[in-house]
Copies of this chain bind each other. A is one copy, B any other.
Amino acid sequence: MIINIDWKPDKTSKIPIYIQIKEYIHKKIINGEWTVGMKIPSQRKLAELLEVNRSTVMNAFEELIADGFLEGNTGNGTRVKNNLWSLFQTTSPPNWNHYVENGIYKPNLPTIQDIHKVEPQTNIIRLGTGEPSPEMYPKDIMGEVLKTLSTKIEIMGYEEEKGLPQLRKQLCHYLETLGINATPSSILVVSGALQALQLISLGLLRGGSTLLLENPSYVNSLNVFQSLGIKLANIPMDRNGMDTSFIKSYKRRYNASLVYTNPTFHNPTGNVMTLERRKHLLTVCEEEQLPIIEDDVYRELWIDTPPPPALKSMDNNGSILYIGSISKALSPGLRIGWIVGPEQVINRLADIKMQTDYGSSSLSQWAVTEWLESGKYVKHLESMREALRLRRSTAIRVLQNEFVDIAEWTVPSGGFYIWLRLPPTISIKELFYEALAFGILLNPGKLYDEQSFHYLRLSYSYASLFDLEKGIKKLGQIIRKLINN
């Protein structure tokens, strides 16, 4: 488990460092941020995080123990013993551990938690991160958009259930360019595609029901369905996408309620479902009356040629809930996505959205409206594709130069990811921590499929071009070292 700390001692101060550390811990305890009974980070860990000698931390701990605030300090770790008040009291604080450990929702997978903790660190080369690079962030155009909004927005109250009407109107126009016909009342604005999945899990399914999905799948890295007792049944993939010949029998075997697919520039494999496969998927699902969630957040990011049409554009009877997002092509920080589907389903999801967070940020909704309406978004997509083309060739070039004998991959035709297969002799867990020691953050394939323990999801979207080249090269060296051990 990786721990973060948001403070560092001031090495230029006249106050001795161990006193600063003591006061820092003391304050946490007095504030009730570290509660009585809580296990605190070890001396070794704190020394590392605060970049001081272990003996300095030990001095601080000793004084806090002498003062009665901490106890333990043996193999079992150090705990908060008292705070200012508990010394004079006979009561003890609530047993928060009990609450934290027993809540309904599952915690994130430990590796994902670790990844989230490392990400804020600077000087890390993130080779697995699935978002556009800061290098590609259109700061100036976003600046223009914000300037326009500074005079345009008349009011920012709670928005309509389905989202800002102006945004839904723009989305209709935009979706039309993808061959998807919808009116504003069958569109729900959400805070990113992840929230779309969250709303679907809360609104359309029951505990015990089953979702069919590609394996590997982005959804396997989440607990959004599992936390509510919904089961996942994995359908194998080949290079043409989900193997749809399984659907009929799986539907029966698992009494499945829904199919989830990410057909275009699939996370994590980069695969694109062929047109033929798409048609087959639609036919089978119609026959089986199985609705489909089409997660299409990478559609715009083609590099070579536009991908086959969205399933939704071929949906003849409202079987598909279509999910899009502004995250991958423009900015994840805006937290704006959308769901398109039959009106009664959209009404239901909108009602749940209102119960979850009363709608998405107006400011973000206005910003996306402006990006779409002004044509800036479509123009931006062109530069994104250009930038991704360069990044993909950089990554592939380094792989071809340095990885031919240690890995296998297919060149993706769009999106962010290369699904890198490593020799089964390598422990990806070991590789993860070894790379981290060299300042490289990876995404193990296992997050997306239990069986893919010899895969990495390599992303060419995030690191700077310079770091991308340097990082992948270094990764090759680390892998070689592990092979030779």
Contact = CB atoms under 8 A, between A and B. Distances in A.
Nearest to A151: B143
Given A96-B318, A351-B108, A357 B6 contact: no
A361 B332 CA distance: 9
Contacts of A102: 204-206
A228 interface: yes
A94 to B, nearest CB: 4
A194 B358 contact: yes
Contact of A183 (B6, B116, B151, B362): B6
Most chain B beta-carbon neighbours within 10 Å: one of A36, A158, A341: A158
Contacts of A5: 185
A182 B38 CA distance: 17
B334 A362 contact: yes
Interface string A74-103: 000000000111100101111111011011
A207 interface: yes
Interface in A324-378: 327, 331-336, 341-345, 347-348, 351-352, 354-364, 367
B83 A363 contact: no
A139 B104 CA distance: 41
Given A143-B151, A333-B363, A363-B367, A99 B257 contact: yes
A157 to B, nearest CB: 5
A291 interface: yes
A423 interface: no
Interface residues of A, number: 126
A395 to B, nearest CB: 19
Total identical chains: 2
Interface in A373-400: none
A178 interface: no
B354 A333 contact: no
Contacts of A334: 156, 361-363
A160 interface: yes
Nearest to A230: B104
A478 interface: no
A30 interface: yes
Given A147-B147, A185-B33, A333-B361, A344 B97 contact: yes
Interface stretch (A195-203, A232-240, A268-276, A401-409): A195-203
Interface of A: 4-7, 27-28, 30-36, 38, 83-86, 89, 91-97, 99-100, 102-105, 107-108, 113, 116-117, 119-120, 131-132, 134, 137, 139, 142-147, 149-151, 153-161, 165, 181-186, 191-192, 194-195, 198, 201-207, 222-224, 227-228, 257, 286-287, 289-291, 315-320, 327, 331-336, 341-345, 347-348, 351-352, 354-364, 367
